[in-house]
Amino acid sequence: MQADNTQLFKFRGPWTLFKKEIIRFWRVSFQTVAAPVMTALLYLLVFSHVLDKRVEVYPGVSYTAFLIPGLIMMSLLQNAFANSSSSLIQAKVMGNIIFVLLTPLTYLELFVAFLAASIIRGLVVGLGIYLVAIIFIDLPLAHPIFILAFAILGSALLGAFGIIAGIWADKFDQMAAFQNFIIMPLSFLSGVFYSIHSLPSFWQTVSHLNPFFYMIDGFRYGFFGVGDISPWISLSVIIASFLALSGLTLAMLKSGYKLRG
């Protein structure tokens, strides 16, 4: 009656949760994918129209081209965060989080399943913006491996952050505060719309404390082969941040903080 197929299908539990999380956002892809792609394109339209002829951030790179990787990364990060955080907060508020808590899924499996779904959501949104953008603008691909690495690590980092926020928040307005007071400022002040070299030195220093800066700069490097700092530094900062946040997330899940009273 028990444990007959647990060996054979060891990964079926977390796989099912991953699949459920994917279906959850895909069913409402109009909101979860189409809407953010649309928003990013509006930014692109407005900013490139206003600034394209006036600003050249890197030699030979138009402002519009410069902007695209930043917008892709910003949307990818916001959506990776939104995926895990909204899934958890909804499940907590609705009470259906218990369907997962009653199962033999380990805290590591929960983490991996939520994280993987966030990564997919981030990548799908990012890819959506990219595909629409290249219809209008020529975009080089100097180092595709860097592009992919930053995209995956960036969505993983924000996916983990979303799990933390989802566990911590008890109400939707606390989650909104997270979005409005942490995610939005960090993403806007990260160099999406400008190179931080154009900032006064005080703000340059401040920008270096923002993990979003490294994700956007490294991602952009992947396209143009130039950036504000070395992509290897960015990569190291992001990997270190990811490991730190994952450690915190796993510790929260393991302790049952706010999930198991």
Partner 1 sequence: MIPAINIQQVHKSFGALHALNGVDLTIEQGEFFGLLGPNGAGKSTLINILAGLLRPTNGNISVMGYDVVDQYRQARQLLGVVPQELVFDPFFNVREMLRFQAGYFGRGRENDAWVDEVIEALGLTDKAHTNMRRLSGGMKRRALIAQALAHKPPVIVLDEPTAGVDVELRQTMWEFIKRLNREGHTIILTTHYLEEAEILCTRVGMMKQGKIVALDSTSNLLKRLPSKSLRVTLGQVELPTSLKSILKSQDNDAYIFLLSDIAQVEWILGELRSANIPVVDMQLLEADLEDVFVDLVGR
Q: Can you give the binding site for partner 1, defined by CB under 8 A?
A: 1-3, 5-6, 9-10, 12-13, 15-17, 19-20, 23-24, 27, 91, 94-96, 98-106, 256, 260-261
With vertex at residue 78, the alpha carbon angle to CA 190 and CA 161, rounded to the nearest 5 degrees, is: 95
CB closer to partner 1, 102 vs 145: 102
Work out how close the CB of 161 gets to partner 1 at its nearest, in angstroms, rounded to a whole number: 23
CA distance 114 to 155: 12
CB closer to partner 1, 74 vs 91: 91
Work out how close the CB of 98 gets to partner 1 at its nearest, in angstroms, rounded to a whole number: 6
Work out how close the CB of 256 gets to partner 1 at its nearest, in angstroms, rounded to a whole number: 6
CB closer to partner 1, 106 vs 174: 106
CB closer to partner 1, 1 vs 145: 1
CB closer to partner 1, 20 vs 143: 20
CA distance 144 to 222: 6
Decide: residue 218, CB within 10 A, 0-12 exposed, 13-18 middle, 19+ buried: buried
Work out how close the CB of 114 gets to partner 1 at its nearest, in angstroms, rounded to a whole number: 13
Work out how close the CB of 260 gets to partner 1 at its nearest, in angstroms, rounded to a whole number: 6
Work out how close the CB of 17 gets to partner 1 at its nearest, in angstroms, rounded to a whole number: 6
**Contact, 63 vs 48, CB < 8 A?**
yes
CB closer to partner 1, 4 vs 138: 4
SS3 of the chain: CCCCCCCCCCCHHHHHHHHHHHHHHHHCHHHHHHHHHHHHHHHHHHHHHHHCCCCCCCCCCCHHHHHHHHHHHHHHHHHHHHHHHHHHHHHHHHCCCHHHHCCCCCHHHHHHHHHHHHHHHHHHHHHHHHHHHHHHCCCCCCCHHHHHHHHHHHHHHHHHHHHHHHHHCCCHHHHHHHHHHHHHHHHHCCCCCCCHHHCCHHHHHHHCCCHHHHHHHHHHHHHHCCCCCCHHHHHHHHHHHHHHHHHHHHHHHHHCCCCCC
Work out how close the CB of 42 gets to partner 1 at its nearest, in angstroms, rounded to a whole number: 28
Work out how close the CB of 157 gets to partner 1 at its nearest, in angstroms, rounded to a whole number: 26
CB closer to partner 1, 10 vs 53: 10
